[in-house]
Structure 1
């Protein structure tokens, strides 16, 4: 099936998956890996409590992150999760024209708006992937996406064909405007993208960079991809900022652990804007521990297992006639369901929490995001969906 169109109404940028859970509901709304942290990491975190009387020292963790990505320590800023990184960037940068590529995690836009910046939204079409033609502006006409579920939306109109003019010249297809305005000096994009689970090619993301422009890439879910072939963390092209998080894979949402990779000058500016000792000693211990080759290998093995189960779940949902955003690569699926908000409410009555999609710019009331869990849990959700006629 092909994807439905996006909705353009204002949405609640501050709504996140944690607002969907609680009350004993089975959690398919939050994209944090369950059963984490592993015992070896939990043991180190418990031991770190003995050092809480001393102020945090970020240097060992910064060096560990630098080694992990082949960067210098001066290109690393440790943060209290990816969310703090977005706030710091919004405070330090002064964009004249900021563009956020949607659908994606809404905190970058929320942070920019809170800092007083105007934000333009670019909505990806064609299964929410970066289109090389539209990146630079081309002459290939866009094919409107078809619409299986149209609650609250409008059906795209197919442009009329230009008639052939005998004895004259063949009409030229107008050149499209580039996807990203040429004068945009700040562009924010996720990869893999939350909520669509789409992994963009590294070259396509790197192509967004140009002199005078900062490109911020949210790679919070990149460690869901074995080998991370599309990551820019090790390449770090000029003007590109990469944001990473330990929250998802290692189950550390309550600890707040993440980092920024950027050129040393920008890292210095961000450091000046960051409160002293912003990252706690336990979080620094986690960052250092999870950046070792052994931890990276463990995460990669999990990513391979995740991928197999994610693909199975996507196939099961697709056979039921649902549109699942294709080529999912993160720890969740994005799908279109008739009356998704109604289905979400019925699932809650049966003890299951899923993430509503209508609070993501570029989606609408017929979208849900579902976290991928272990096979028994996923099968239980599928059974309940079947009882609901899905």
Structure 2
């Protein structure tokens, strides 16, 4: 029996099975630089298989939320909602919040706009923070942004965002700040430290930072009342035992986060130096990915793919390519080799 068809949806990084169909002659395995997932996974201790044979206890989930509150600088664990990845929160928030429209600082992670449109809400794409602030002035608005932004790493001023959240709260709206790539940016402060705040909701990713995306764990940070509503909507057992154990261990490890931030800073600088030699122009990024403007980007994307190096392209911005970081010396060598052969072709 053939496999059921899967809707194409929005293009994302990864998708190695599809990449194999697209580049059937590429050497295996792919060097996957198409995502913003840390190539250095957190070193989890072995987990007792018996832990996976039972449903998680409410006290275990409470422990995870307390550890997350400390890691994210949130004063009260009741303001932390653990979710099976932030994507499910993005998809459900338009149905759980009372907002009638959304304005989204764009271009950015496309699933935000898709979620609000799917819920039947009009969506305004705002180019630049001033347009974003103007678009948020209508009552009942959900103002959505990523900070730092994906895919260019652009940062929005914390003071302006908190002022915007206060204005939104007065007119029945909310600021949704997706901080998926903030963990490893030591010079950025989370808006979550301003909670409780009636006009603010913050999303935090786990899998990207800790290189454990398959565990599916994320967090919503919000005022206690809103957090309680969200927690009730997700129901019991939304988070599995493996995710609870991994989250408690990794989130409590401040030394690992600090060391990883320093390591990735060096790796990002090295990637910029490498690609500059081949004429690529940096257009920003974060600790986990870099964005480049490239001549003949479509040809280069295909050449790298045929060489087994998968990078991220953007259909509506065809001169841009985004790359994650190689995780070892072999990966760096494969990338440089593919770049060298592209320059000769």
Shared fold, TM over 0.5: yes
Q: Residue 333 of structure 1: which of 259, 279, 290 is its match?
A: 290
Q: Residue 272 of structure 2: which of 304, 311, 314 is its match?
A: 314
Unmatched tracts of structure 2, length 5 or more: 1-7, 21-27
Higher relative contact order, structure no. (Cα contacts within 8 Å, ≥ 6 residues apart): 1
Query: Equivalent residue for 1:254?
Result: 214
Kindly indicate whether the alpha-carbon contact (under 8 Å) linking 1:13 and 1:106 is maintained by their aligned counterparts in 2.
no
Deviation, structure 1 residue 49 = 4.2
Deviation, structure 1 residue 48 = 6.2
What is the correspondence of 1:62-101 to structure 2 with a 5 Å cutoff? 62-68=65-71, 69-101=73-105
Shifted more, 114-123 versus 259-268: the winner is: 114-123
Query: Equivalent residue for 2:154?
Result: 198
Tell me how far apart the structure 1 counterparts of residues 206 and 292 of structure 2 sit (CA, whole Å): 26
Q: Residue 260 of structure 2: which of 302, 307, 332 is its match?
A: 302
Query: Equivalent residue for 1:323?
Result: 281
Tell me how far apart the structure 2 counterparts of residues 194 and 48 of structure 1 sit (CA, whole Å): 37
Deviation, structure 1 residue 122 = 1.4
Question: Do the aligned partners of residues 373 and 233 (structure 1) sit closer, same or farther apart at CA in structure 2, a change above 3 Å counting?
Answer: farther
Deviation, structure 1 residue 135 = 5.8
What is the correspondence of 1:95-244 to structure 2 with a 5 Å cutoff? 95-124=99-128, 130=129, 134=130, 180-183=135-138, 185-209=141-165, 210=167, 211-212=170-171, 213-226=173-186, 228-236=187-195, 237-244=197-204
Aligned residue pairs, count: 318
**Largest Rg, 1 or 2:** 1
Question: Do the aligned partners of residues 56 and 368 (structure 1) sit closer, same or farther apart at CA in structure 2, a change above 3 Å counting?
Answer: farther
Deviation, structure 1 residue 191 = 1.3
Give me the TM-score of the superposition, normalised by structure 2: 0.84
1:1-36 superposed Cα distances (whole Å, 9 cap, x missing partner): xxxxxxxxxxx8621112255562111112212242
Tell me how far apart the structure 1 counterparts of residues 112 and 208 of structure 2 sit (CA, whole Å): 17
Tell me how far apart the structure 2 counterparts of residues 53 and 230 of structure 1 sit (CA, whole Å): 38
Tell me how far apart the structure 2 counterparts of residues 268 and 194 of structure 1 sit (CA, whole Å): 29
Give me the CA root mean square deviation.
2.4
In structure 2, the residue corresponding to 1:90 is in which secondary structure? helix
Tell me how far apart the structure 2 counterparts of residues 277 and 35 of structure 1 sit (CA, whole Å): 29
Q: Which has the higher helix share?
A: 2
Kindly indicate whether the alpha-carbon contact (under 8 Å) linking 2:205 and 2:218 is maintained by their aligned counterparts in 1.
yes
Q: Residue 18 of structure 1: which of 6, 14, 18 is its match?
A: 14
Give me the TM-score of the superposition, normalised by structure 1: 0.75
Tell me how far apart the structure 2 counterparts of residues 117 and 330 of structure 1 sit (CA, whole Å): 33
Query: Equivalent residue for 1:273?
Result: 233
Kindly indicate whether the alpha-carbon contact (under 8 Å) linking 2:146 and 2:178 is maintained by their aligned counterparts in 1.
yes
Question: Do the aligned partners of residues 76 and 378 (structure 1) sit closer, same or farther apart at CA in structure 2, a change above 3 Å counting?
Answer: same
